[in-house]
Amino acid sequence: MMTRRRLLEAAGAGVVCAAGGLGAPLRSAADAASVPLSPGVPVGLDGSAVLEALPGKEPLIKLSYRPPNYESPLHYFDTPITPNDRFYVRYHLTDIPDAKALDAKTYKIAIGGEGANAQAEITLDELKRFPAYEIVAVNQCSGNRRGLSQPHVPGVQWGYGAMGCARWKGARLKDLLDKVGLKKEAIEIAFNGADGPLFDKTPDFIKSLPVWKAIDESTLVAYEMNGEPLPHFNGYPARLVVPGWTGTYWMKHLIDISVLTRPQGGFWMNPAYRIPAGQFPAVARFVTQETATTVPITEMVVNSLITSHADGAAVKAGTITVRGLAWDGGYGIRAVEASIDGGQSWSTAMLGEDLGRYAFRLWSFDLTAKPGKNTLTVNATSNRGETQTTTLLFNPAGYHNNVRQSVTLNAA
Ligand SMILES: Nc1nc2c(c(=O)[nH]1)N[C@H]1C(S)=C(S)[C@@H](COP(=O)(O)O)O[C@H]1N2
Ligand SMILES: [Mo]
């Protein structure tokens, strides 16, 4: 039987200990102080989080090594496209195949399941011969900002950086599914990656989508990210891209696609990745997975991040430009507003280039900083009229934190 401890480890909780237990050098307080952690993450994390470069990556903030959970520091978000070597990394399982095991020549995706009319195997070359589509889309972990939850909740203590936006290129999942054909009883499509648990009893990471989302024209099996093959730690050689939905569905190292006539079970569908029923605005639903008390997390909520200045930054008094990003679950950003009087009055920020409704939208705002403390609060509104919350909608997994962010700038 799986012990609770193992489950928590598998879920990425208890990572602070795990990071230290691998023979990683203990860091001095001085080293730790140089790590640009998000303000508000739990005290104690700064003693173990370090900036560290995985192979092929720029330094990221390491929250755990086994499994690898690394977030992007704030200054990597100064562009609406996140470079591949600056893109965050999130895994649940410790046994991640190396480059040899993911050889492009032998790699295959199996497609089948009881809800499919036939079986198929697709090599990487074959995948690349399907009509190719490109989409710019945000990949954000459901648990992004979990570390800011009050009270704190178990799980990887992410700050603001468990997200990124890339231009993905791949085949439509729908075109792959057309190779086998769906029976009319098909209700979900399930996905498995080449990574696995280190202990037999840890549940494998298997996720499913409702058929309607799987066959959406935006849902891709991607083999390129920003014009390059996918980085190893972001799912080489192919991964699912599910624009608008949180990262949990974006299966990396995809090797199996299974058409289901019954709901996918298992730990990673329930109890993991659930939000209380009715707590958040009703959006895209995953009906076959809903229970009376919880529903699967689906679309991202509207959100924004101030990226040009960290909280407490020193600035010159006078006119300064503050920049940031805004995004949502795929309706697109209608407006970003900024307030310098604690939310009493709001001014409209300028929006940058529109890279598509699933992409990060750059915004900028000019403010006149008076000597002393200047506090700026930002609120984004989506095209469906959804805005960020003023207070945290607490839930046990720390999901969907889109509380309006404030930074204080010290002007002299
Ligand atoms: N094979 C595999 N795919 C996976 C995961 C995983 O643990 N294994 N984690 C998922 C989760 S929860 C997230 S948030 C995203 C993170 O994508 P990234 O590591 O490319 O940033 O990958 C998803 N795909
Ligand atoms: Mo995630």
Question: Is the pTM of the predicted complex or chain greater than 0.85?
Answer: yes
Within-domain flag for 22 = yes
pLDDT given for residue 63 in this prediction: 95
37 or 2: which leads in pLDDT:
37
Q: Which atom of ligand 1 is nearest to the CA of 92?
A: 7
135-168 as b/e, with b when 16 or more CB fall inside 10 Å?
A: bbbbbbbbbbbbbbbeebbbbbbbbbbbbbbbbb
CATH number at residue 350: 2.60.40.650
* C-alpha 89 to ligand 2 mean position (Å): 9
Whether residue 328 lies inside any domain: the answer is yes
Token pair of 20 as six digits: 């230290």
Q: What is the mean predicted confidence (pLDDT) over 153-171?
A: 97
Banded model confidence at residue 6, pLDDT cuts 50, 70, 90? very low
Residues 216 and 250 in one domain: yes
390 Cα to the center of ligand 1, angstroms: 29
In a domain, 154, yes or no: no
Residue 273 and residue 135 share a domain:
yes
Say whether the peptide bond before residue 131 is cis (omega within 30 degrees of 0). Answer: no
Residue 167 located in a structural domain: yes
How far is CA 51 from each of CA 20, 33, 141, 235, 306, rounded to the nearest angstrom? 14, 11, 19, 22, 21
Does residue 21 form part of some domain?
A: yes
Pocket test for ligand 1, best of 60, 86, 91, 239 (most atoms within 8 A of CB): 91
CA 222 to chain CA mean position, Å: 16
Residue 16 has pLDDT above 80, yes or no: no
Whole-angstrom Cα distance, residue 346 to residue 312? Answer: 21
Q: Which of 37, 70, 95 represents a domain boundary (last residue)?
A: 95
Do 287 and 308 lie in a common domain?
Answer: no
- Residue 236 CA: which ligand is closest? 1
156: confidence class by pLDDT, cuts 50, 70, 90: very high
14: confidence class by pLDDT, cuts 50, 70, 90: very low
Which of 263, 278, 296 is the endpoint of a domain?
Answer: 296
Query: Do residues 177 and 274 both lie within one domain?
Result: yes
Same domain, residue pair 236 and 350: no
Overall average pLDDT of the 196-225 stretch: 93
Residue percentage of the chain with pLDDT more than 70: 89
pLDDT at 31 over 50: no
**Of 196 and 115, the one with more pLDDT:** 115
Q: Is the pLDDT of residue 397 over 70?
A: yes
Contacts of 126 (CB under 8 A, 6+ apart): none
Going by pLDDT thresholds of 50, 70 and 90, the confidence category of residue 360 is very high
Closest-CA residue, ligand 1 atom 6, reads 91
Q: Do 326 and 303 meet the contact criterion of CB atoms below 8 Å apart?
A: yes
pLDDT recorded at residue 48: 59
* Minimum mean pLDDT range among 12-21, 93-102, 218-227: 12-21
Nearest alpha-carbon partner for 63 in 166, 162, 179: 162
49 falls in which pLDDT band (50, 70, 90)?
Answer: confident
CATH assignment at residue 131: 3.90.420.10
Tokens 């562009």 appear where? Answer: 79
pLDDT at position 84 over 80 = yes
User: Sign of the CA dihedral 102, 103, 106, 112?
Assistant: positive
Same domain for 288 and 399?
A: no
Which residues have CB under 6 Å of ligand 1? 87-93, 139, 141, 193, 195, 205, 234-235, 247-248, 250-253
Q: Which helix (H) or strand (E) holds 213?
A: helix 211-214
Q: What is the pLDDT of residue 15?
A: 30
Question: Which residue has the CA at smallest separation from atom 7 of ligand 1?
Answer: 91
In the chain, % of residues over pLDDT 90 = 84
- Provide the pLDDT confidence category of residue 202 given band limits of 50, 70 and 90: confident
Asked whether residue 81 falls in the same domain as residue 183, the answer is: no
Alpha-carbon distances of 140 from 65, 164, 300, rounded to whole Å: 19, 6, 8
Q: How far is the CA of 364 from the centre of ligand 2 (A)?
A: 28
* pLDDT at position 201: 76
Distance 20 CA to ligand 2 centre (A): 22
Lowest mean pLDDT among 31-35, 258-262, 294-298: 31-35
40: buried, middle or exposed (CB in 10 Å: 19+, 13-18, 0-12)?
A: middle
CA distance linking residue 257 with residue 191, whole number of Å: 5
| Domain tally, the chain | 3
Atom of ligand 1 nearest to the CA of 193: 1
CA pair distance 122, 179, nearest whole angstrom: 10
Tell me: do 121 and 228 sit in the same domain: yes
> Do 255 and 117 belong to one domain?
yes
| Distance (Å) from CA 281 to ligand 1 centroid | 25
Please state the rounded mean pLDDT for residues 114-137.
98
Query: In this predicted structure, what is the pLDDT of residue 12?
Result: 37
Q: Which of 296, 313, 344 corresponds to the end of one domain?
A: 296
Query: Does the residue 147 lie in any domain?
Result: no
**Distance from the CA of 91 to the center of ligand 2, in angstroms?**
8
- Asked if the model's pLDDT at residue 374 lies above 50, the reply is yes
282 and 219, same structural domain? yes
CA of 252 to the centre of ligand 1 (A): 6
> Which residue segment(s) compose the domain that 319 sits in?
303-411
pLDDT at position 261 is 98
Contact predicate 328/386, CB 8 Å? yes
Is the domain of 336 the same as that of 320?
A: yes
Q: Is 276 a member of any domain? A: yes
How high is the pLDDT of residue 32?
A: 40
Q: What is the predicted pLDDT for the residue at 357?
A: 98
Residue 148 lies in a domain: no
Give the residue, by CA position, lying nearest to ligand 1 atom 16. Answer: 90
Tokens of 134: 């490109």
Average pLDDT, the chain: 90
Rounded to whole angstroms, the Cα distance separating 377 from 346 reads 9
Chain segment 234-244, per-residue pLDDT in tens: 999 999 999 99
Same domain assignment for residues 323 and 404:
yes
Q: How far is the CA of 193 from the centre of ligand 2 (A)?
A: 14
To test ligand 1's pocket by mutation, which of 220, 250, 268, 297 has the most ligand atoms within 8 angstroms of CB?
250
Tell me what pLDDT residue 281 has: 83
User: Mutation test of ligand 1: which of 54, 72, 90 has the most ligand atoms closer than 8 Å to its C-beta?
Assistant: 90
**Mind listing the pLDDT tens digit for each residue in 317-349?**
999 999 999 999 999 999 999 999 999 999 999
